[in-house]
Structure formats: structure tokens, C-alpha cells
A and B are shown apart, each in its own frame.
Chain A
């Protein structure tokens, strides 16, 4: 079945540590996105990419980095510069060249700082 796979489901980070969240899709979608969701809040865009080897900052990019070396993969690194990283992270993809602009989301990664 086609879809988006995020791993791990739960991640614990120590202070000062960088961690990388994985996002893989087999939908042949061109665009991929990373969102952060805090309790009681909506989705805030961190980074997005519409083609391989190109990506743009979203509304809250500080303390995060991404790469898009393959169409199927869009990993997110949470760096030690991100002061409050505890949150639910969602990866999504969409077919921007088609007529269906809706996003397909992964099941999320819950990151906790310990």
C-alpha cells in the first residue's frame, strides 16, 4: 500500500543533542512537508520541498535542518539550537502537479527532551 512512513514513533533527546526524524513516501509525490504540532495548537510549517535538492523555510525553521536528496525521502534534523523541541512532528506529501492538492500525512513522531 502507498503511504508515508515516519520513524521512530517515539524519540527521546538529551539536552544539546541533535536527532534526525525519518520520513519516507512511496506515493510518487513531488512535494514533502514537515509540521510541528503542540498540544491544543494547529500545525506549524517547519520546512517544505517541492523538488529534489531544493527546499524552503517555513514559519518556524530556526533550530531545524532538512535535506531532499531523493524524491522519496525528506529527513528532519532537530538541532541543539532548537530550545523547545518537545512536540509532535508530522511529515506530509502532496502531488502538486496533479488536481488533488490534499496532503497525505504520516503517523507522526513524538519527540521528548529528557
Chain B
């Protein structure tokens, strides 16, 4: 199975700052079929990005995804208060679908 490793484990930033989150795959992700989610405490994850770089419906343009092959990045250009949460990457190019272990963005 494809193992996704996210870094850093925790990112300490302030509102208005830029966040850069990394997701590295143990083997190439088929057709760059990689998604990003944000999860707030006590809630289900919410889809942010699919296909490595496509924003999901209703997601503001401060979120952007990039990368291909084995290295992917989620960038949040200016952190809003609701962005302090945990972020997961997920690959759906090859079964079993797998998630990274998460990056916590904290104040």
C-alpha cells in the first residue's frame, strides 16, 4: 500500500501568516489522485483539494494545492481563525486508499 507521510507534525503560526504543509508518498500517486482535508475538533473532515490542485466547491482561494508524483503541498496563503485545525492528505489512485497521519496547525 502507499504510505503517506505528512510534515511537519505540528505547525505553529499566527492568523494572517502563510502555512505550507507537505505530503510525501512512498511511491508515485497514480494520476496525481491526491486530496487534502481540514478537520476541526469534533467534526468530520472537510474536502479542500482533489486531484492535487483542484479546489472543492465552496473552498476559498487562500487554499491551493500543488505537486505531483510523490511530493505534494497544501498552501494556505493567509491563515484565518477557522484554519487552525488538523489537515490530512489522502491518495485514491491505488487501493487501499490511504491517509497521511495529519499536520496540526496551531496558534
- Same complex origin of A and B: no
Enumerate chain A interface residues (CB-CB to B < 8 A).
Answer: none
Enumerate chain B interface residues (CB-CB to A < 8 A).
Answer: none
